[in-house]
Amino acid sequence: MTLHRASGQWRLGLGLSLCTALCWATLPLALKVLVGVLDPVTLTWFRFLVAAGCTTAWLAWRGELGGYRALSGRSWALLMLAALMLLGNYVFYLLGVQHTSPANAQLLIQLAPLLMALGGIWLFREPFRAAQWIGLALLVAGLGLFFHDQLHQAWAREAASGTARHAGGYVLGSALVVVGAVVWAVYALAQKQLLVKLGSMQVLLAIYVAAAVVLLPFATPRALLALDGRQWALLGFCALNTVGAYGAFAEALAHWEASRVSAVIATTPLLCIAAASVVATLLPGWLEPEHIGVGGWIGASLVVAGSASVSLLGRPRARART
């Protein structure tokens, strides 16, 4: 089986990875507001439906809607696996966001790019040098410190407010997000291999359509009629965020190694914290401000340092011309 190889345009891959991280950093803030008025399945179905429509229009304009007939049975099976895994990621993540904070959800979902990085090294034999392994260790340690700090902060707040009974829901939400991270890593690796046969947007179109069809019997489209203007704006943002984030992510995989893309995406929790702070300041009452202790900030710093090491160190030098 022919394995996918990145184009080597690392600057383009880096820029697209940063775009993905920014989209995913702001997404949980809108989702946290919407899950109070719209059930997770209908919300997820609508996002896939809009993404399918936008991607179809884009590919039709470029004349790139074809290519699926040439797929083998094995490629179709891999495509369906990618669709089911991405669908699972959406549902499990959204269920988890209902019970935990946006920053904690974004922290835990970073297990996904870590698993993708290891999968890229194992499946695609991507080069990974000593400096990058050190950076990966820093990144993992930073995520661990940050999670420990957030869990401690959550228990302290609930104990002080006399609502410790909700702590179990916090742990359940965290577990659901972890499951979402595992299935996302499977999707990402399948997506990368499918780039051998199809363009990135063609892969995403098939995934969006399949997911929208699967979710339709379980969705409640009538619930959308009860949304007000602000909620519709947030819903539209979530839907377009899906198109932008996954379009940039798929293209990043085409130009850069999966292990390096995953390391840049690992900075998403920090961007989410910054976005949550801005929203809490400018729009009081929409979201509860994030509470981060000293250990959490140390962990966040390690995440940044580790991500930079994995992404930017160890790039192969250009060979001297003879």
Examine residue 317 and state whether it is found in any structural domain, yes or no: no
| Count of CB atoms situated within 10 Å of the CB of 63 | 7
How much is the pLDDT for 322? 31
Cβ proximity of 265 and 113 under 8 Å? yes
Examine residue 5 and state whether it is found in any structural domain, yes or no: no
Q: How many domains does the chain have?
A: 1
| Count of CB atoms situated within 10 Å of the CB of 236 | 13
- C-alpha to C-alpha distance for 82 and 3, rounded to whole angstroms: 16
How much is the pLDDT for 321? 34
pLDDT tens series, the chain, 322 aa: 565 566 667 788 888 888 888 888 888 888 878 888 888 889 989 999 999 999 999 889 888 787 787 788 888 999 999 989 988 988 898 888 877 777 777 777 777 777 777 777 777 776 777 777 888 888 788 878 877 887 777 677 666 665 544 556 667 888 898 899 889 889 888 888 888 888 878 888 988 899 899 999 999 999 999 899 989 999 999 989 988 887 888 788 778 876 678 777 777 777 887 887 777 777 666 666 667 788 888 887 887 777 767 666 655 443 333 3
Examine residue 206 and state whether it is found in any structural domain, yes or no: yes
Domain hosting residue 306, numbered range? 10-312
Examine residue 188 and state whether it is found in any structural domain, yes or no: yes
Provide the residue type at 277 as one letter. S
How much is the pLDDT for 284? 67
Please choose, from the candidates 137, 139, 131, 91, the residue with its C-alpha nearest in 3D space to the C-alpha of residue 269: 139
Q: Could you tell me where the beta strands, DSSP code E, fall in the chain?
A: none
How much is the pLDDT for 3? 59
How many Å from the N-terminal Cα to the C-terminal Cα in the chain?
A: 34
Examine residue 100 and state whether it is found in any structural domain, yes or no: yes
Cβ proximity of 30 and 238 under 8 Å? yes
DSSP state of 267: T
How much is the pLDDT for 290? 65
How much is the pLDDT for 320? 35
Examine residue 152 and state whether it is found in any structural domain, yes or no: yes
Q: Number of helices (H) and strands (E) in the chain: give both, helices first.
A: 12, 0
CB contact set of 309 (below 8 Å; sequence gap of 6+)? 131, 132, 134, 135, 136, 138, 139, 263
Examine residue 3 and state whether it is found in any structural domain, yes or no: no
CB contact set of 262 (below 8 Å; sequence gap of 6+)? 112, 113, 114, 116, 117, 120, 188, 310
Examine residue 228 and state whether it is found in any structural domain, yes or no: yes
